[in-house]
Amino acid sequence: MSSRLARLVFALLGAGLLPSAAPAVAGTALTADAVNTARYDAAALGGLSPVVLRAQILLDRAGFSPGAIDGVVSDNLRRALVMVQRRYELDDHGELDEATFAALIETDDGPVLGDYEITRADTAGPFVPDIPSELEAMARLRRLAYTGPRERLAETFHIDARLLVLLNPGVSFDGPGTRIVVPRIARPAGSAQKVARIAVEKQQRRVLAFDPDGRLVASYPASIGSDDKPTPSGLFTITKVARLPVWRYNPRFAFKEVKGGRAFNVAAGPNSPLGTVWIGLTAPSYGIHGTALPEEVGVADSHGCVRLTNWDVQALAAMVQKGATVEFIE
């Protein structure tokens, strides 16, 4: 087990968020046909649910990100449901009820799972199979690439890597030409928007993106700072959008896990502390960025910045420009 996977497993076990075995599938078998045709059934929402999985992918396609798609009811799913319920003027209780499910299906009834043929680009690397958990050890690596094809494919299709394996039992992700089942996460043509304002709702652990007319165009679950390393409050503007950023650790950050007192650089890559994108703000040293651990977004605290999944911060970065406003709301 790589140290990256090990620290994820131990963190989730410690928080009581990872069962000792995969959750049982609710109601019916977890096949593409079962998920694509899943109908609302309140009794089928527990465990790993085809109904929940279908709803998560539809939410992702609509711009209301549930975070890493895992087929399980979670706080991240509830955060997305609240926003879609407000859009369709439904009761915004954050639960997946029949009215909300029907609204999602009415808007987009296309298949949510489909086949994908693994390409040479998916498997070519370079990969870094064993990524250390300590920042100072990371600084000795030339790159912080994906650990392997499975992780790359999971991020490409916005899915929890464990669910990707469950959807493709006995399949190796290392061979070009192999066909696998993945979420169909592409948004409808013409759905790209320009974002003029971002709201970071700290208590709700949610980022909202608005177009120049004030219309909500996307929402994302987020990790926010802790009491020890708080996220700022107030109104700021975006100063830069950097893709594949190199991170500079400054001793004044005083991270508890860093033992030395010197500055150092951490290489770029999807497994870097900043993930694949850095959106810098006029608040010095603060920004919105990706993460190496998408499963922890909305669950774990950050060091003060706003963490999104890599795919969500990439989507946001494609819609914002320097000068857009970012408001942190208590």
**Strand, coil or helix: what is 149?**
helix
Within the chain, residue ranges assigned H as helices are: 3-14, 32-36, 50-62, 75-87, 98-107, 120-123, 135-138, 149-156, 161-167, 310-317
What does the DSSP 8-state code read for residue 186?
P
Beta bridge partners of 279: 241, 288
CA dihedral 268, 269, 274, 277 (to 10 degrees): 100
Catalytic site residues? 289, 305
Q: What's the CA gap between 204 and 315, in Å, rounded?
A: 20
Q: What's the CA gap between 187 and 169, in Å, rounded?
A: 27
Is residue 298 within 8 A of residue 260, CB to CB? The reply is: no
CA dihedral 326, 268, 8, 180 (to 10 degrees): 100
CA distances from 296 to 9, 15, 292 (A): 11, 11, 9
Is residue 105 within 8 A of residue 98, CB to CB? The reply is: no
